[in-house]
Structure 1
Amino acid sequence: MLLGECAHVRTGDKGDIAQISVIAFDPGEYPRLARRVTVARVLGHLAGVQVRSATRYELPGLGALNFVLEGALSGGVTRSLALDAHGKSLGAQLLDLSVDEDDQAGEA
């Protein structure tokens, strides 16, 4: 199962920081998301993005995880030469992350 089958994302960017919130469609899926959508797996999935530091915040009451990716925007939205490597693009890419329990690819 891909992340996009059990969750949606909301994103934002400010300066050189991208934020990706992963929100379960069904709150019952939150425990799976908490186990499978780790900082290591997010960074592995977004391997082409140079991230200086990443922090995950857990919001179990909302069935959501929030990732703050510092340095992810190549100097900032207005300074980057990258084509649309902003929050929305990163969030859309993350929806292809496998959240199957038996998938060990990218485990850390």
Structure 2
Amino acid sequence: MHVHDLAYLRSGDKGDVSNVAVMARNADAYALLEDALVPERILQHLDGLVSGPVVVHALPNLHAFEVVMHGALGGGATRTLRFDETGKSMGAVLSRMAVDT
């Protein structure tokens, strides 16, 4: 099972910071994601795409998470040579992370 089986994702950017909103499909999915969406596992999954810290904010009343990845865009939209300078694909990449059931 992967994150995309449990949630909807939306990503964006602010400078060199990419953020991904992860919205669980239901309460059971939220519980599984709560165990899976930890900074260490996210960094391991992104394998070199993010050079700074990852912070995960849980929003239990919304069954959602905000994943903030620092150093994720090669300096930001106006400075990077990366193909996805605004981080729109970061949600798709995170959606492929495996989740233990």
What amino acid sits opposite 2:84 in the alignment? Answer: D
TM-score by length of 2: 0.91
| Matches of 1:67 and 1:47, distance apart in 2 | 16
What amino acid sits opposite 2:73 in the alignment? Answer: L
Partner residue in 1 for 2:23: 23
Instruction: Quote how far apart the aligned CAs of 1:50 are.
Output: 3.2
Partner residue in 1 for 2:71: 71
Which residues of structure 2 form unaligned runs of 5+? none
The alignment partner of 1:11 has SS state of strand
The alignment partner of 1:61 has SS state of helix
Paired residues for 1:86-105 under 5 Å: 86-101=86-101
- Do the aligned partners of residues 27 and 85 (structure 1) sit closer, same or farther apart at CA in structure 2, a change above 3 Å counting? farther
Report if the CA contact (8 A) 1:20-1:87 is conserved.
no
Runs of 4+ that moved beyond 2 A = none
| Matches of 2:50 and 2:99, distance apart in 1 | 23
Partner residue in 2 for 1:43: 43
| Matches of 1:85 and 1:47, distance apart in 2 | 18
Which residues of structure 1 form unaligned runs of 5+? 102-108
Number of residue pairs aligned between Structure 1 and Structure 2: 101
TM-score by length of 1: 0.86
What amino acid sits opposite 2:23 in the alignment? Answer: I
Report if the CA contact (8 A) 2:37-2:56 is conserved.
no
What amino acid sits opposite 1:31 in the alignment? Answer: A
RMSD: 1.3
Partner residue in 2 for 1:8: 8
The alignment partner of 1:10 has SS state of strand
The alignment partner of 2:62 has SS state of coil
| Matches of 1:24 and 1:62, distance apart in 2 | 8
Instruction: Quote how far apart the aligned CAs of 1:29 are.
Output: 1.3
